[in-house]
Structure 1
């Protein structure tokens, strides 16, 4: 179809000068949309008409609203009973994505108006707005389509003309026109279904009209048309359903369905707030850009994040599905009922939903011990990204639509949730929840800023929360607290400074002083009352023999101890004086501080070696993560050094892996299953060779399982081991193993099985197989949403890293077309293809390539890649000889590497 509004006049969106935002003029406000849509699955177009009820706030001779890639066919403006204009002049501002309707007769302030527009659009393949998703019909192999939506953050304008800003809430009357055999879904339940004559096809169709929604933001609107099946639970006050396309086993929706029903009841009680909609639908969408989307009453998911087959998927997948479902359901209150007023408050949505998913998971599955893994998952994710200069504050100023997708990252989600965890510890969980209840009650159906949350928490606690917490949300980064021991042996000296992974903090970047909750752990317990709000201070300790800061790692900071103190803490861990969270967090801090020059890498290697008796999964998860970060930084170094680091990893994990074994018993614990899987994969991928405790070394065991699987035994590889087995055999195998995995991707019964095969392909190192993986990623067999999966594991070896970068350059136009810059997936692929390098020459090459191309929509991700490379380069300069000496002294490095580094 022709380019929309080609040659139109430039006009439109206003600028909120107080915050620099490009937003719509405030002369009118929408109150209700009456929207009808009819898709055509033959030519992938749709027709629509919308009538928007408006409150006229100021005398107006124009109305501006958002549109993107829509053809406007007719426009009428009326006031009360009179038509103002049925043929207005339209102008379009392409940059601001705003259509302005100009008319001569004035709309007086204080009156009501109606704007009616007919329009058409493409049922696009961009995973945004009103788009098409496809699947294979299991009966005849033909491709079938459904129409679905993804409006967040600013793509409602791509589906229909709208006032597409979160603060411009309105009610919606939705009607969908479709073939009679298709299922039609929207946010609300069905009000009526009638037979109509189709304007598009000329035949008879059904018009499904839905009940009016509560006041809500445009980004939460959703509608779906397609062949769908469902399972339903009536155990909650309103029906809860899980939908999927006919090619999926709908029985796999029961876990999420039952969990959702229980979670809605749990949230109603926790928030003291009824879920206000008459039903809850959750739909598995074959093509989906995010993990899930919290549309009010109609949540959409990637298939793998909603459907769960207990027999075909492992413990980690089950936990992921549970967390995603509970995350999206938390949004029904935090984000949907109460919504941030603009996108710089995104963290209010995402940070809370992330925290709440862990809170509810802990309530439902206490045996999962999720607050332990929170330290190694959410906290480390936040600290990792926020240690780069190219990070951003939690409350990040957002001016334009194309900037918004880039802040859906670990700062808004993980750091945001960590701030909430920190404040919940500071206030006490009961007080914190009471503040949340007051916040939701006061602002229901409205919009808020961060200060409104602080006010509610202050009201509930009697403390000035804003003074404490604003510093954390309005500033980029976090501190490292350096600890020295005073000569009096009765106190310690603590000092805070800005922490950067690149270890090059400038004086002007180190002016923010955070309120750091020290959480002092001693033999007497934990003292939560001490806060470091100045640059430095002395802190009394009951005994200098044992103390640790940041008990359970609820605080957002790193702690730097002397090598002697770190050694004592290692012994304290063996003596049982530290919690699981303490031990995992201490290892994480030591690894991050070595990477940034606060400690030597040899000290971290020694610390890890001292944890050989450790028995907890979460701690071992962090140990293997830190070994991986060292090995990744040394990726482009001499082979003997890399082999020595690999041998060190193997020494740490192999015996534990053999003792734990790789057989799974029915009823085995959730954590134990993940622990066995972690050890098996870590040992096998580091080249596990021999063991006196088993007849198979792990590599042989992996091949034995794989060969049985290849011969048709679908049960030969336990779901918990599938990813590890695939990775091990590809790392050590060749074309035969590669072909078997491609076939496993093509024929897998579940999305989890298929994705695991796809994710493993990059482990193959042979040049011809690397090329096949890269070609496969851009083929029609891999959906755009999954391009990152096959290429991700190419980052595990040098030939793959180099090939990825060349592939990105050679296929830039194709990749850009498949993954439009406005969507976050392009930034993800750019980071995958660049961030694994370690040298300044790599930075120079990346900068040169992108200096000649637009980086709009992913400039922040690219900057983060360059920062990460720079940090590794500086780490290597500092500690290259240190690591070599340590490895030599312990017999891991037998050959001289002189002159090869």
Structure 2
């Protein structure tokens, strides 16, 4: 951090007084904590209860010489309560640095005799007491050992305190520290966010503690199982408000270092993990629930955003979604308030801090005059996701990060239930298939995928934890829990959740605890499963990937095998289950109703699946199961004929599934690519969103592979032929684009119609979008473009235009006061076909005054998605990797997405060699991008093989289908 700054004597004395006055509260909380812990211990011999109430040490892959060399805390000490005081400075000091000062007093108990105290601390400068970083005192009759030595360990992020003798087992102690940290703009720990309002630069002090950033704010036992009660006090300037997890008390005036300041203390938190802490100091305002409500709900944001009503939608939906989850879990909301705050700079979409949820502005704010249908859906689902965590993750918490999937996969799944309750006309329970399941199947079909649940010892370092925040954890986690809920029924699923939450509230769990409670609910309901629930589900979470189920409708034979996009790839991750799953196969036949068959071996026979010559069968109804389906050639023929003649006889989700399965089976060389292409021929008669969106997603791969080859022309001609009727359909039902379609998914499909029509040259489309954009350029204050169509209109107009259109869009982006509008423009700016403009845009990504750090990764990926921009983006990240990695947080979850996005088009040996060289050149600083780089290498190999095998077949098919056009 450069020059070291120390806490002044007055500040130190002031904070010490605060610590002493809070000591009585901490001791009382210590007693309450012990009572709560004892109450929740479970019966003797109950291994699940005993195993989830205490943090346990784990061995690391190497053999460290000393305890402080390990990345996991020893199990000799447990925290009881903290008293934390922080004073963030919202103006730079004389050296231009923003800093915060603070003190922490933590009460802990010794549970195993030890002469070492090891506590997390990172990038903090400590005030010394008699030459040591901390002071130690006792709270009982136990003797307090003298401190011999203290030191910081950078590698494992520890503050180590060596004592002269052992602590007394069972005794409570108090560890006091004073420190200074940088209030940096790195989006980690306690950090600063800057924005401009009415021409005035403003600074917000805010936080992001997940996964391992609390230690960057104050010394703490920074592991999820080390739960404690937190007493928080924040010192701040008059005119600002301080927020934290607990409800704030009335601020008091204090004087420190000659300044008149406000001091806000907060009600003690519930027993919780460090990663759920949150602190904010800002001059925001809020709208809230009616006085007297059971739970105080407040939506905080920039004053202008609140005044413009951008928080109204979130406030209107938070109460109903909270009530939904109270009913779903059959458990009352555990807190007295729910603050939700929209931040100008935030690395994730949102964070479920208990009682103070933090969001990107686009995930909480909605303006119906400017924001689209998709923006509204995003707000509803993100709010539901975070509120689901208030119970599942916060009240009951996984013991270690290896089971992160249980928190995030669960919240992702039930967010669709909560959003469906809040917006019952949107059909959200179906949209999970498109938004989560189909996409993650592409990732999980790689040999470099990983299981949902890892061994504790395999997840040790902070960067290993960061790598878990990926689509497998969120989307596959949601998919397998949805599958489980389907085959045991949603009612039984929620009943199991209720008893699980009741037994383990304020505690930590492992995934087996959930299986046990769901098994109890299954038995109570009288549901008969072919195997114990744990045996069924372990096959889905402890081995990566998923099966392809192949049904022979001539014989009724049904088989399964591990599905890989590249069948030649080598799977070097062993599986105790030998890549065999217990699969709930649902299916319908010609004129029949849904049936289910459990495939619990590699091969079986179900005579009911044997069909007559002209009959058809479709399996995995509504894609309830996480698997793909292949058929014998006769059934494929009959299904395609049915789609071409009477598509509505097949459920809409399955129309999308047939397309998606066929294209992915073709990539895996299990069916011909021409069969996959044939599943799209019915689309000239299809107006539903899901089949169209699935087709577009799959044809995107064809564009990536062929948009620089001779295949491109015939492919464009075919898509033009198919989409022209859809374009006309929406022109008709919207009275020539003057009305908005009523149905939620129709609003989405209207975007597909215009986007595909413009990109393939359907008559009238490009002229339409260009005209709308020109009208806006003529009168910037009056943007009449339909809010749902803005992204595609902006993109197409900028692609067709030149520097004038680009510069206009850039000026509107910089002046946008609504985050969702800024996001649309940020994407559209990447659509230009001018290389020099794209290079200029890439350079802007290195300037946080032009592109916020939180948006840099997305912007680079947008540019890489443009055929002209992809090589420019690849050159850019290679030349700037050191800067990006060190200044933009190489350990953050977004770096994996950066590698994934920039290499999507790679399909030649030259591309592959460049990737290998990049890996070699940056071996020591890949961070969270390491896994994505391995996936990119595997995917590039698969792309090379696929293009070599299919290019001529694809060219001939598209040419034959368009020869008469």
Change (3 A) 1:507 1:305: closer
Q: Output one character per residue of 1:269-299: Cα deviation in whole Å (capped at 9) or x when no partner.
A: 2211111111110000100000000000100
In structure 2, the partner of 1:233 is 289
Q: Tell me, yes or no, if structure 1 residue 33 matches structure 2 residue 82.
A: yes
Q: Could you list the runs of 5+ residues in structure 2 that have no partner in the other structure? A: 6-54, 63-69, 93-97, 129-133, 524-528
Q: For residues 179-227 of structure 1, what are the alpha-carbon distances to aligned partners after superposition, in whole Å with 9 as ceiling and x for unaligned?
A: 121110000102342222224xx21111111010110000000010011
1-structure distance, mates of 2:4, 2:447: 39
Mean Cα deviation higher: 236-245 or 162-171:
236-245
Q: Distance in 2 between matches of 1:650 and 1:369?
A: 29
SS in 2 for 1:559: strand
Q: Aligned equivalents of 1:195 and 1:206: distance in 2?
A: 5
- Return the alpha-carbon distance in structure 2 between the equivalents of residues 428 and 712 of structure 1: 55
1:850: how far off? 2.4
Match of 1:437 among 498, 501, 508: 498
Q: 2:470·2:893 contact (CA, 8 Å) conserved in 1?
A: no
Quote the residue 1:10 is aligned against: none
2-structure distance, mates of 1:402, 1:88: 32
1:653 maps to which residue? 723
* Residue number among 771, 780, 783 corresponding to 1:715 in the alignment: 783
Partner of residue 56 from structure 1, selected from 98, 110, 121 = 110
Q: Give the 3 Å change call, closer, same or farther, for CA 361–14 of structure 1 in structure 2.
A: closer
Preserved contact between residue 658 and residue 679 of structure 2 (Cα < 8 Å): no
Q: Match for residue 587 of structure 2?
A: 520
Match for residue 76 of structure 1 among 135, 148, 151: 135
Deviates more, 1:812-821 or 1:495-504: 812-821
Residue 203 (str. 1) matches residue 259 (str. 2): yes
Matched, 1:614 2:686: yes
Higher mean C-alpha displacement, 605-614 vs 30-39: 605-614
Distance 1:433 1:144 in 2: 45
Inter-partner Cα distance in structure 2 for 1:3 and 1:103 = 30
Note closer, same or farther for the CA distance 1:577–1:505 as it changes in structure 2 (3 Å cut): farther
Instruction: Tell me how far 1:142 sits from its aligned partner.
Output: 2.5
- Structure 2 CA distance for aligned equivalents of residues 533 and 40 of structure 1: 61
Residues 243-322 of structure 1 aligned to structure 2 (within 5 Å): 243-250=300-307, 251-322=309-380
SS at match of 1:60: coil
| Pairing 1:799-810 to 2, within 5 Å after superposition | 799-810=868-879
SS at match of 1:50: strand
Residues 218 and 876 of structure 1: CA distance in aligned 2, closer, same or farther (over 3 Å)? same
In structure 2, how many angstroms separate the alpha carbons of the residues matched to 1:673 and 1:529?
34
Structure 2 residue corresponding to 1:451, chosen from 501, 504, 512: 512
The CA deviation at 1:246 is: 2.9
Secondary structure of residue in 1 paired with 2:481: helix
Unaligned runs of 5+ in 1: 6-12, 691-696, 895-901
Are 2:250 and 2:264, in contact at CA under 8 Å, matched by a contact in 1? yes
**What is the Cα-based RMSD across aligned positions, in Å?**
2.2
- Aligned counterpart, 2:450: 392
Question: Is structure 2 residue 155 aligned with structure 1 residue 91?
Answer: no
User: Matches of 1:421 and 1:93 in 2, distance apart?
Assistant: 43
Counterpart in the other structure of 1:866: 937
Deviation, 1:247, is 4.4
* Separation in structure 2 between the aligned mates of residue 892 and residue 332 of structure 1, nearest angstrom: 58
**Aligned mates of 2:671, 2:499 — CA distance in 1:** 45
Aligned-residue offset at 1:334: 0.6
Contact 2:243-2:281 at 8 Å conserved across structures: yes
In structure 2, C-alpha distance between the alignment counterparts of 1:834 and 1:893, rounded to whole Å: 36
Tell me, yes or no, if the aligned pair for 2:305 and 2:311 is still in contact at 8 Å. Answer: no
Contact 1:282–1:299 at 8 Å: present in 2 too?
A: yes
Mapping 1:199-598, distance limit 5 Å: 199=257, 202-234=258-290, 236-250=293-307, 251-397=309-455, 398-462=459-523, 464-486=532-554, 491-506=555-570, 511-523=578-590, 525-541=592-608, 543-544=611-612, 545-573=615-643, 574-575=645-646, 576-598=648-670
Greater shift, 726-735 or 662-671, is seen at 662-671
Contact 2:354 2:390 in 1 (8 A): yes
- The residue that corresponds to 1:879 in the other structure is 950
Shift, 1:523, TM fit: 4.0
Q: Distance in 1 between matches of 2:163 and 2:56?
A: 18
**Contact 2:548–2:630 (CA<8 Å) still a contact in 1?**
yes
2:739 maps to 1:672: no
Residue equivalent to 1:831: 900
Contact persistence 1:664–1:673 (CA under 8 A): no
1:135-174 pair list within 5 angstroms: 135-138=195-198, 141-174=199-232
TM-score computed with the length of structure 1 as normaliser: 0.93
Q: Which segment is superposed worse, 20-29 or 607-616?
A: 20-29
Q: Secondary structure at the match of 2:156?
A: coil
Deviation, structure 1 residue 249? 4.0
Distance 1:85 1:644 in 2: 81
Match of 1:143, SS? strand
State how far apart, in whole Å, the 1-side matches of 2:626 and 2:249 are. Answer: 49
